[in-house]
Amino acid sequence: MGSRRASGQVVLPPLIAVVDDEEAVRKALDRLLQAAGLRTHISASCASFLERVLDRRPDCLILDLQMPGMSGIELLREMRACGISVPTIVITAHDEPKTHERCLQAGAIRLSVQAVRLRHAARRHRQSDRRITRVRAGLRAYAHVAGDP
């Protein structure tokens, strides 16, 4: 799964965590990310993600905004309070300026409203190249922020 450097050290692909309460969305993003050669860590809730984040810190987090229990904003705030910094892409159906501002203030690097279209595609068990391209654009934005060319 990883590549070797000249020194013989194995370099693993980035680990992308996905936190979403909808199973179809988690499965679709997991397949998409693994097909792109990335490692994944999938969680159904913010609480289950928090239990493992210290042991297995991801390189990027794709986070649903509205979930039962702890919301995505609450998770970002909790992570910040604990000194945990992970580049985060928030996915939501709420295309409102206040939502965008709250996400960025909580530490997100990108708010992706169009990713919700992937949710509808997953429910109907279809994939659209246009929707996948939007998720990939979010991943490219993460790579740019992380300093990868």
- pLDDT for 146 equals 58
Any idea what DSSP says for residue 107? T
- pLDDT for 121 equals 46
Decide if 6 is inside a domain.
Answer: no
Contact 75, 49 (CB under 8 A): yes
- pLDDT for 24 equals 86
Decide if 1 is inside a domain.
Answer: no
The span from the CA of 4 to the CA of 31, in Å, is: 24
Decide if 147 is inside a domain.
Answer: no
Decide if 21 is inside a domain.
Answer: yes
CATH number of the domain to which 22 belongs = 3.40.50.2300
129: containing domain: 14-141
Decide if 19 is inside a domain.
Answer: yes
pTM of the model: 0.69
Decide if 3 is inside a domain.
Answer: no
Across the chain, which has 149 residues, the per-10-residue mean pLDDT values are 66 92 90 92 94 85 90 90 87 74 74 54 48 67 61
- pLDDT for 35 equals 92
- pLDDT for 30 equals 94
Q: Number of folded domains in the chain?
A: 1
Decide if 64 is inside a domain.
Answer: yes
The span from the CA of 19 to the CA of 74, in Å, is: 13
- pLDDT for 33 equals 92
